[in-house]
Structure 1
Amino acid sequence: MARRLLVDDVLDSLRERIVAGEFPEHAPLPGEHELVSQYEVSRVTVREAIKVLHAQGLVRIERGRGTYVNPTRSWTSLPAVIQALSTQGDPAQISRDLLEMRGILECGAAQLAAERIGPEDLAALDAQVTAMEEASAAADVEAFVRADLAFHAVVLAASGNPFVPVLMEPLSAVLAAARAETSAVPQIQAHAIVEHRRVRAALASGDGAAAREAMAAHLRQTAEDLRRYVTHA
């Protein structure tokens, strides 16, 4: 157990240093002896931490030469990718990328949810839209974002596919931050309330194709609002 904790400590530290840019793309990591000295751990501990970084795509091991940092596009660790983009990426591009990802996942989830949603789910959607309206009237951006996120969480869960909400969960923090930026604009709040009501109506109809299109229309409106009121690009 103690060695496992040491491995995790070294792993977390190296991952943070890579994400922070201390070791940029294609740069070598310090050698094994140097890492052993830096972290005051055994070679086995260092090797296990490097193996995990390699398995997550953050580094590549070149036999006889050393360990080198991979480009971000090669990483398979979602937390590392999120952290890197959040600290080094272009906020406007991150928002656009998030909307594209949401379109891939949430439109399909809405289609499934229309076929499986129950009265309790619909009541929960109504409650969140009402909470959005009340938060907007009170100029409470934090409460507005909470209700917005909760609405979408209901849709994801109502898809009936347990993998769908699990896939979205690691992005919850970055999605909340993106929502806080856009939801600070009153016009965007007004548009969001209208679009959420349309999504709710489509879900209640039981028409999967209509629900998919309603969610897609909502995300298109969000993308347009982002361009018009936030990025001006």
Structure 2
Amino acid sequence: MADVEDPSTGPAVNQPIGGRTAGGNLHESLLNAVGTDIVTGALAPGTVIRAEELRVRYEVSLSVVREVVRVLESLGMVKPIRRLGLVILSMQEWTILDPLVVRWRMVATPAVQLRSLTELRVAIEPQAAYLAAIHASVDAAEEIMRLAARMRASGSKGDVEAVLDVDIAYHRAVLRAGGNELFASFDTVVAEILRGRTQAGLMPKYPHPDALQWHFDVADAIGNGDPDRAHAAMTKMMDRAFTEMEDAWEGQPRLRTY
């Protein structure tokens, strides 16, 4: 049998949040608390819990609980069953690429989540660059080149946060430039990957010169309508990103997805 990630090793169920809020918002606090409990396995698949239990456990009103349940249901994480309560659903049912789910999993199992997302990114972004070189407008291509220049300037100063912000904007621009709405929607996932990488201390203070050059190479290829060169340069960029991070998930079991 293949190795399977054990979500039961996550932290214990969250403590009451009635005395504190995230950003002053009880709805957001409860949503994050319950969402995190589900992805860590503190609320395991098959668990049945009633709205009243959530109200007591987290010290919030039933109206807040109902709002949160609606969001979790839309994410495929819970299923209300009349006269029974809320059934916690397995990962196979979740909207796995929703930014909220990505963020909660990044907290619960950061190494495993980074691996899964990076493997997906390696598959998608070179093709996105290829399409951008064919379909990008002049304005979009010029913006990608401007962002590559800004990234080099920020990288030379060792400003990790500035590099992160520009890098997110750069990859968002490439993903959107090809005119594929599914690739464009992947930009929020890439943003979470890049933030998670930085928060895990896996982003060097000074980006490698090759990585900065590849950003320029992709931008130049897009501007000149050369899809093969754009694909090749983005592939180099993705391969380096994968290599720089793979030690973080070494030895982590693969997930059971069947």
Length-normalised TM-score, structure 2: 0.67
- Aligned residue for 1:85? 105
Note the C-alpha offset of 1:215.
1.6
**Identity in percent:** 23
> What is the letter of the counterpart of residue 224 of structure 1?
T
1:130 to 149, 154, 157: 149
Gaps in structure 2 of 5+ consecutive residues: 1-24, 251-258
What is the one-letter code of the residue matched to 1:131? R
Of 20-29 and 151-160, the range deviating more from structure 2: 20-29
- Would you say 1:16 and 2:33 are equivalent positions? yes
SS of the equivalent of 1:183 reads: coil
1:183 aligns with 2:200: no
1:93-121 CA distances to partner (integer Å, 9 max, x unpaired)? Answer: 33222222223432232121111224433
Q: Secondary structure at the match of 2:79?
A: strand
The one-letter amino acid paired with 2:135 is R
Q: How many residues align?
A: 220
Shift of the 46–24 alpha-carbon distance from structure 1 to 2, 3 Å rule, reads: closer
2:142 maps to amino acid: A
Checking the alignment, whether the CA contact within 8 Å between 1:11 and 1:52 is kept in structure 2 is no
Whole-Å separation in 1 of the counterparts to 2:145 and 2:210? 16
- Cα RMSD over matched residues? 3.4
TM-score by length of 1: 0.73
Q: Partner residue of 1:139?
A: 158
**Range moving further from structure 2, 148-157 or 24-33:** 24-33
CA distance in 2, matches of 1:122, 1:10: 40
Q: Which protein, 1 or 2, shows the higher relative CO under an 8 Å CA cutoff with sep ≥ 6? A: 2
Is 1:60 paired with 2:79? yes
Q: How far does the alpha carbon of each residue in 1:21-65 deviate from its partner, in whole angstroms, 9 at most, with x for none? A: 5842125343355457764447xx866754553342112356665
Deviates more, 1:63-72 or 1:193-202: 63-72
1:1-233 alignment runs, 5 A limit: 13=30, 16-20=33-37, 21=40, 23-26=42-45, 28-34=47-53, 39-41=60-62, 50=69, 52-61=71-80, 65-76=84-95, 78-91=98-111, 93-169=112-188, 172-179=191-198, 181-186=201-206, 188-227=207-246, 231=248, 233=250
User: Which ranges in structure 1 are unaligned for 5 or more consecutive residues?
Assistant: 1-7
CA distance in 1, matches of 2:193, 2:32: 19
Deviation at 1:66, TM superposition (A): 4.0
* Structure 1 CA distance for aligned equivalents of residues 180 and 196 of structure 2: 26
Deviation of 1:79 (Å): 3.6
Alignment CA distance shift 1:61-1:195 (3 Å): same
State the distance in 2 between where 1:148 and 1:53 align.
Answer: 30
The answer to whether the 8 Å contact 1:18/1:24 transfers is no
